Amino acid sequence: MSKIVPLEACEEIEVWWHHDEDGPRPGPRPDAKPGVTLTPVAPTEVASKPAALPATTLIRPTPFRPTPFRGRSGARPRYHPGAVFDSTPVRRGAARISLGLLLGLVAIGLTVVGLTVNTRFAASFGQTAEAAALLAAVGLTIDCLAIVLPSAAAQLWRDRHVMSASAAWAIWLIALGMTLLAAIGFAATNIGDGVAGRSKVAAEASALAADIERLRAERAAITETRAVATIEAEIQRAQPAAAAVWRQTAGCSNVTMAASGAACAEVLKLRQALGVAQRRDALDAELRSAEARLAPMPAITTGDPQATMAADLVAWISLGHVSLTPHDIHRMRITGLTIIPALAGIIFMFATTLLRARREMPA
């Protein structure tokens, strides 16, 4: 036996005719829209009005698709009369997906580099293996926070958890500061050591080149071509001519009289030539040694050619109005190499935002 439920009379509602491209149709009073003419009609005319429609006009009921609306913040809005929402999903194009994936790969690469750099640098301060492991763990944890917190803060903000999102951003700033300090230390240490090593090699090469030029100039001024042995033999042949004064002059070494000088003139001349020949041979030996040391050295003229050339280009482009030193360029390079890896979390947040589907939009 079926249960009979008495029906209650509903209250009268105001019925309006909707005149649009689909033809007139009855319904409740909607919000006014451009292109829609609203005409009030009495409730008693609702039943008779559709009969007056043209025979070719078909009124198809729109199927009801219940779709929960969530705005851009992710929260369900409060219902108010007359609100119309479009629940059609917004399609993501190939360009949007490709850009999001590319940013995600870049963020992953920066994350790996940043974690490796900061973990190793933190571990280098440990005096023991245990201390190095603990410092590396601390550095790894801080870097993970710097990477994950931006995405978490953005999601909390979309869910309208303002206090939690603000706290997440505050913690991220602290973690970012520690990450920047570690990255600055690593970059400054390694780049500074590399520049110092190049400067040392350049200085050594420059000094050797200067010595070689000096030795070559001195060697070019020597015109003596006889060998040392040849000059010594000629001295032996010239000694008998000075035999009369040989003992008085201690072998033509202490000439005090004009007659002794005349007798020892040939011997003294040959001895002078012998000294020049010996110096010539010494210069040749030094030149060979300096050239042998310079040959395997790399062709490095300056310790930091990048900073030097960048400073020169800035001065040239600005017509001399902007003058930067290589040390200024060095600071800028350290800053860039430090900040970019630390922003891996922000880049990852951009990637997730691009790949996230936006399904509900208010009409």
Q: Express each pLDDT in 298-314 by its tens digit.
A: 877 777 888 888 888 88
Residue at 11 is within a domain: no
| Structural domain of 341 | 94-197+319-362
pLDDT at residue 3 tops 60 = no
As for how many domains the chain has, the answer is 1
Q: How open is the CA angle 22-24-29, to the nearest 5 degrees?
A: 110
Segment 204-231, tens digit of pLDDT: 888 898 999 999 999 999 888 889 899 8
What pLDDT sits at residue 30?
A: 56
Residue at 144 is within a domain: yes
Q: Are 246 and 210 in contact (CB under 8 A)?
A: no
**Which amino acid is located at 9 in the chain?**
A
Residue at 50 is within a domain: no
What pLDDT sits at residue 167?
A: 92
**Which amino acid is located at 56 in the chain?**
T
Winning range, highest mean pLDDT, from 32-36, 182-186, 233-237? 233-237
Orientation angle between helical segments 344-355 and 129-158, nearest 10 degrees: 40
Residue at 176 is within a domain: yes
Segment 156-192, tens digit of pLDDT: 988 889 999 999 999 999 988 888 888 888 888 888 8
For residues 185 and 39, which has the higher predicted lDDT (pLDDT)? 185
Contacts 24+ apart (CB under 8 A), 203-207: 204/297, 205/294, 205/297, 205/298, 205/299, 205/300, 205/301, 206/301
Residue at 150 is within a domain: yes
Beta bridge partners of 17: 26, 39
Segment 248-307, tens digit of pLDDT: 878 888 877 787 778 888 888 888 899 999 999 999 999 999 989 888 888 777 778 888
* 3-class state of residue 95 by DSSP: helix
What pLDDT sits at residue 8?
A: 54
Q: Are 320 and 69 in contact (CB under 8 A)?
A: no
Residue at 342 is within a domain: yes
Segment 323-344, tens digit of pLDDT: 888 888 888 888 888 888 888 8
Q: Are 103 and 350 in contact (CB under 8 A)?
A: yes
Torsion of CA 29, 31, 35, 41, to 10 degrees: 10
Q: Residue 107: CB partners within 8 Å, gap ≥ 6?
A: 147, 344, 345, 347, 348, 351
Residue at 240 is within a domain: no
**Which amino acid is located at 10 in the chain?**
C
What pLDDT sits at residue 20?
A: 59
Segment 41-100, tens digit of pLDDT: 455 544 444 444 444 444 444 454 544 444 444 444 454 444 444 444 555 578 888 888
Residue at 89 is within a domain: no
Q: CA 290 to CA 286: how far, in whole Å?
A: 6
What pLDDT sits at residue 92?
A: 58
